[in-house]
């Protein structure tokens, strides 16, 4: 819940002097260096878009952000991304949003992003410089002719003018990511021989013309940001020299700010997933900054104030763009200003509730903050009738419930049989590339203390204990038990449950079969094939593993560089009964990278297996009907989960009602997103 914005004497401002320094843009001023980066929430397309977007943004304004960039709005139908388009008729409802932001804090700026998706628009009328199908979509776009180009330029300009009429302080034009402007820039997607193609001068003509015309139409006192593909991660993509030339040209025709963007959607390098080191790409912005005079924005995996401050302090950029961290915690800036960093709900870069939802056509939210983009329908209103509530289980569901309910004023006692809070998070944090879960645990520890939850660790709550406690409500969040498939030999000493491996209670042998290839199977494979430190903690390791040359910036940053992944020092089979290759159910935006990593480490991935039995020889299988024996030393069971609700059933037998949450309620397809979401909804109304 946001409170009023920062004031000059807040103690954290001295700790983060670069972050809290205003930025003078000549005709206007940004109050600090933190931008809420553009990201579709899905609210843009709703009939009641205006009040919902207004509430979403105002919460971030009250949390101290300096400038907001909206999710991308198309300038015309062919560039459309779903229903997000700027019409004359939309000006009034956009005005509701901009007025709400400015009323909340007149010093905060809001810019509308103009996104023409080009060949990624996906419709039959999608347009592009050349009729080249993007790698990730089945549609060949229509090649723009001279009249078509003129129409696109006019539509970009019209969208900017409408944004100005709607009260925006500026626009951001996206010239990256594989959208229309980016496809003009790259030779592979721009094979024109007229003045809009050919050499780089010709290929950058269209993006530069877009900026020139917008500036001419909106006048000098309107923020105009251009997103350059500063390292597009494409084999044969832009060279550093071309990025510099583009940026200088954009500057010369009137851009106010350049925002650096990394990667195209079709690139095969992760740039925002949790396996990417924090602030991994800001050095690229830093190199470009030497060549332009206007301010530069950098982004990607900047998820804590100190990370942002360090980026600014070493001169990599003038501004930092935080998109997902603003979903995770709307009060990020305010908490930094008030030295309350331990209270920041840190974005763990999982993409599960934000970008994955976007690609699935669902409303975005946040795994660690289900209120994100749901500000009007999930409210944590202080209670007027405080209850005594027992919560059993301090995993994600129990923790989220306890902290939100206590934050509303209830008296919450949280029982945990283990000696620490966290539940499944304590397993997740051990997976290489998932170190950010430590931050979530730190957040919950702080929240438990701050909201005065009475935490009873190493206490196994029993039915008699709860009955004697005179609680008004009992919430059972006892989580899940790993499923143990009932096949002959399942109790053989070779067989081990994944949690024993992840917690270090057992060490797998040199040959390992993993039974089950869901999220946990993949995580376990990652864990047991990791050699040395995780690439997510070291930018050099990351660059080596994904074939990036940050220093010399060959075309796209990746051209001609072979990723160097160490083969695992054990042989691993990742198995599932379903036919086909494992990994299809992993997150849309991150699953491919997890899978590629394991493939590069030499992990065998088999679908369509039928487990027969385990014995001294190993794991006996039928693979497509053919008998096989994997002579493995260890069989790790990652075969899903069953609900653990013994306590709930015992209470029920005694006629004591309780609420079931998370995995204890339903273990199928359980993840932290659902657990926290369920907990938040119950805690909001109890």
The nearer residue to ligand NAP, 403 or 517, going by C-beta atoms, is: 517
Cα 662 from Cα 397, distance rounded (Å)? 6
Instruction: Return the residue of 185, 368, 390, 574 that touches ligand SF4, per CB under 6 A.
Output: 368
Instruction: Return the residue of 328, 453, 517, 664 that touches ligand SF4, per CB under 6 A.
Output: 328
User: CB under 5 to 8 A by kind: which of ligand SF4, ligand NAP, none does 571 bind?
Assistant: none
> Binding of ligand NAP at residue 671 (CB under 6 A)?
yes
> Binding of ligand NAP at residue 516 (CB under 6 A)?
yes
Q: How far is the CB of 430 from ligand NAP (least distance, A)?
A: 12
> Binding of ligand NAP at residue 669 (CB under 6 A)?
yes
Tokens of 9: 């004497």
Contact (CB, 8 A) for 424 and 398? no
Q: How many of the chain's residues bind ligand NAP (CB under 6 A)?
A: 22
Q: How far is the CB of 351 from ligand NAP (least distance, A)?
A: 9
CA-nearest of 213, 142, 138 to 183 is 142
Site string for ligand SF4, 265-304 (x = CB under 6 A): ----------------------------------------
> Binding of ligand NAP at residue 525 (CB under 6 A)?
no
β-pairing, 604-606 vs 571-575, is parallel
Q: How far apart are the first and last CA of the chain?
A: 18
User: CB under 5 to 8 A by kind: which of ligand NAP, ligand SF4, none does 367 bind?
Assistant: ligand SF4
> Binding of ligand NAP at residue 521 (CB under 6 A)?
yes
Q: Which stretch binds ligand NAP (CB under 6 A): 203-211, 314-322, 654-662, 668-676?
A: 668-676
β-pairing, 34-36 vs 609-615, is unpaired
Cα 653 from Cα 467, distance rounded (Å)? 12
> Binding of ligand SF4 at residue 636 (CB under 6 A)?
no
Site for ligand NAP in 569-588 (CB under 6 A): 576-578, 587
Tokens of 559: 């051209």
Q: How far is the CB of 357 from ligand SF4 (least distance, A)?
A: 8
The nearer residue to ligand NAP, 181 or 672, going by C-beta atoms, is: 672
Contact (CB, 8 A) for 243 and 228? yes
The nearer residue to ligand NAP, 358 or 518, going by C-beta atoms, is: 518
CA-nearest of 350, 472, 366 to 59 is 366
Contact (CB, 8 A) for 308 and 320? yes
Site string for ligand SF4, 347-366 (x = CB under 6 A): xxxxxxxx-----------x
Q: In whole angstroms, how far apart are CA 374 and each of 41, 57, 347, 454, 471?
A: 10, 11, 17, 29, 30
User: CB under 5 to 8 A by kind: which of ligand NAP, ligand SF4, none does 349 bind?
Assistant: ligand SF4
The nearer residue to ligand SF4, 109 or 371, going by C-beta atoms, is: 371
Instruction: Return the residue of 63, 75, 518, 618 that touches ligand NAP, per CB under 6 A.
Output: 518
> Binding of ligand SF4 at residue 324 (CB under 6 A)?
yes
Cα 92 from Cα 99, distance rounded (Å)? 10
Maximum distance among all alpha carbons in the chain? 83
User: CB under 5 to 8 A by kind: which of ligand SF4, ligand NAP, none does 348 bind?
Assistant: ligand SF4
Q: How far is the CB of 517 from ligand NAP (least distance, A)?
A: 4
User: CB under 5 to 8 A by kind: which of ligand NAP, ligand SF4, none does 327 bind?
Assistant: ligand SF4
| Catalytic-role residue among 16, 56, 84, 179 | 179
Concatenating the DSSP letter of every residue in 290-336 gives TT-SS-EEE-SS--SHHHHHHHHHTTS-SEEEESHHHHH-TTHHHHH
CA-nearest of 307, 371, 378 to 60 is 371
The nearer residue to ligand SF4, 370 or 508, going by C-beta atoms, is: 370
> Binding of ligand NAP at residue 523 (CB under 6 A)?
yes
The nearer residue to ligand NAP, 63 or 583, going by C-beta atoms, is: 583
The nearer residue to ligand NAP, 192 or 483, going by C-beta atoms, is: 483
Helices 282-289 & 240-252 angle (0-180, nearest 10) = 60
Contact (CB, 8 A) for 349 and 328? no
Helices 396-407 & 672-685 angle (0-180, nearest 10) = 30
Does 179 qualify as catalytic in the annotation?
yes
Q: How many of the chain's residues bind ligand SF4 (CB under 6 A)?
A: 14
The nearer residue to ligand NAP, 60 or 674, going by C-beta atoms, is: 674
The nearer residue to ligand SF4, 43 or 185, going by C-beta atoms, is: 43
Cα 622 from Cα 218, distance rounded (Å)? 68
The nearer residue to ligand SF4, 324 or 374, going by C-beta atoms, is: 324
Q: Which stretch binds ligand SF4 (CB under 6 A): 57-65, 249-257, 320-328, 591-599?
A: 320-328
Residue nearest ligand NAP (C-beta atom): 518
Q: How far is the CB of 19 from ligand SF4 (least distance, A)?
A: 20
Q: Determine how many CB atoms are found less than 10 A away from the CB of residue 55.
A: 18
User: CB under 5 to 8 A by kind: which of ligand NAP, ligand SF4, none does 521 bind?
Assistant: ligand NAP
Please report which residue ranges of 177-271 form alpha helices under DSSP H: 180-185, 200-203, 205-218, 240-252
Contact (CB, 8 A) for 78 and 87? no
> Binding of ligand SF4 at residue 389 (CB under 6 A)?
no
Tokens of 391: 């919560």
User: CB under 5 to 8 A by kind: which of ligand NAP, ligand SF4, none does 515 bind?
Assistant: ligand NAP
* Neighbour-count burial of 381, counting CB atoms closer than 10 A to its CB (0-12 exposed, 13-18 middle, 19+ buried): exposed
The nearer residue to ligand SF4, 330 or 423, going by C-beta atoms, is: 330
Concatenating the DSSP letter of every residue in 399-430 gives HHHHHHHHHTT-EEEEE-SSSSS-TTHHHHTT
Per the listing, tokens 């207004």 go with 54
How many residues are given for the chain?
686
Give the side-chain half-sphere CA count within 13 A for 500: 14
Contact (CB, 8 A) for 390 and 415? yes
Q: Which stretch binds ligand SF4 (CB under 6 A): 198-206, 343-351, 580-588, 663-671?
A: 343-351
Binding region for ligand NAP (CB under 6 A): 352, 483, 485, 515-521, 523, 576-578, 587, 638-641, 669-671
Binding region for ligand SF4 (CB under 6 A): 324, 327-328, 347-354, 366-368
* Residues classed as catalytic: 179
């Amino acid at each position: 819940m946001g409170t009023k914005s920062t004031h000059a004497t807040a103690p954290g401002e001295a700790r983060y002097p670069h972050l809290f320094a205003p930025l003078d843009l000549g005709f206007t001023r940004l109050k600090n260096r933190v931008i809420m980066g553009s990201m579709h929430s899905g609210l843009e397309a709703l009939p009641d878009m205006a009040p919902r977007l207004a509430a979403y943004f105002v919460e971030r304004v009250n949390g101290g952000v300096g400038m907001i960039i909206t999710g991308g709005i198309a300038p015309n139908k062919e560039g459309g991304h779903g229903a997000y388009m700027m019409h004359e008729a939309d000006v009034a409802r956009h005005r509701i949003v901009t007025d709400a932001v400015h009323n909340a804090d007149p010093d905060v700026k809001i810019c509308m992003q103009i996104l023409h998706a080009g060949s990624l628009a996906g419709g039959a009328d999608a347009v592009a410089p050349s009729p080249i199908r993007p790698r990730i979509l089945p549609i060949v776009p229509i090649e723009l002719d001279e009249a078509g180009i003129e129409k696109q330029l006019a539509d970009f300009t019209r969208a900017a003018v409408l944004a100005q009429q709607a009260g925006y302080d500026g626009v951001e034009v996206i010239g990256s990511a594989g959208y229309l402007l980016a496809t003009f820039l790259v030779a592979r997607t721009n094979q024109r021989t007229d003045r809009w193609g050919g050499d780089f001068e010709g290929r950058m003509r269209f993006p530069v013309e877009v900026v020139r015309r917008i500036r001419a139409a909106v006048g000098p006192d309107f923020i105009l940001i251009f997103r350059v593909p500063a390292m597009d991660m494409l084999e044969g993509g832009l060279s550093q020299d071309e990025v510099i030339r583009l940026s200088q040209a954009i500057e010369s025709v009137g851009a106010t700010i350049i925002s650096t963007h990394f990667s195209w959607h079709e690139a095969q390098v992760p740039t925002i997933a949790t396996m990417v080191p924090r602030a991994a790409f800001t050095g690229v912005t830093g190199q470009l900054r030497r060549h332009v005079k206007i301010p530069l924005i950098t982004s990607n995996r900047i998820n804590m104030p100190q990370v942002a401050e360090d980026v600014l302090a070493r001169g990599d950029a003038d501004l930092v763009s935080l998109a997902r961290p603003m979903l995770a915690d709307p009060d990020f800036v305010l908490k930094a200003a008030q030295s309350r960093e331990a209270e920041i709900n840190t974005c763990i870069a999982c993409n599960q509730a934000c970008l994955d939802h976007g690609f699935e056509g669902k409303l975005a939210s946040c795994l660690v903050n289900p209120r994100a983009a749901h500000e009007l329908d999930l409210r944590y209103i202080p209670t007027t009738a405080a209850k005594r509530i027992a919560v059993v289980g301090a995993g994600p569901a129990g923790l989220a419930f306890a902290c939100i309910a206590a934050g509303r004023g209830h008296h919450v006692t949280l029982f945990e049989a283990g000696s620490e809070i966290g539940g499944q998070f304590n397993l997740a944090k051990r997976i290489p590339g998932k170190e950010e879960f430590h931050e979530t645990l730190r957040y919950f520890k702080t929240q438990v203390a701050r909201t005065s939850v009475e935490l009873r660790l190493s206490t196994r709550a029993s039915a008699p204990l709860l009955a004697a406690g005179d609680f008004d409500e009992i919430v059972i969040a006892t989580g899940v038990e790993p499923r143990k498939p009932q096949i002959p030999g399942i109790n053989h000493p070779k067989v081990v449950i994944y949690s024993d491996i992840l917690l270090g209670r057992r060490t797998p042998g040199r040959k390992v079969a993993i039974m089950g290839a869901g999220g946990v199977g993949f995580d376990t494979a990652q864990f047991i094939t990791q050699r040395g430190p995780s690439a997510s903690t070291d930018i050099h390791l990351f660059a080596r593993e994904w074939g990036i040359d940050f220093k010399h910036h060959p075309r796209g940053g990746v051209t001609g560089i072979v990723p160097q992944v160490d083969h695992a020092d054990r042989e691993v089979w990742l198995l599932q009964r379903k036919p086909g290759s494992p990994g299809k159910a992993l997150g849309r935006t991150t699953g491919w990278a997890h899978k590629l990593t394991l493939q590069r480490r030499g992990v065998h991935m088999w679908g369509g297996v039928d487990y027969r039995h385990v014995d001294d020889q190993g794991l006996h299988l039928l693979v497509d009907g053919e008998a096989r024996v994997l002579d493995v030393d260890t069989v790790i069971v990652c075969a899903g989960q069953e609900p653990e609700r013994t306590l709930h059933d015992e209470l029920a037998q005694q006629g004591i009602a309780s609420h079931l949450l998370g995995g204890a309620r339903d273990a199928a397809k359980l993840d932290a997103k659902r657990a926290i979401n369920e907990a938040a909804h119950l805690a909001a109304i109890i």
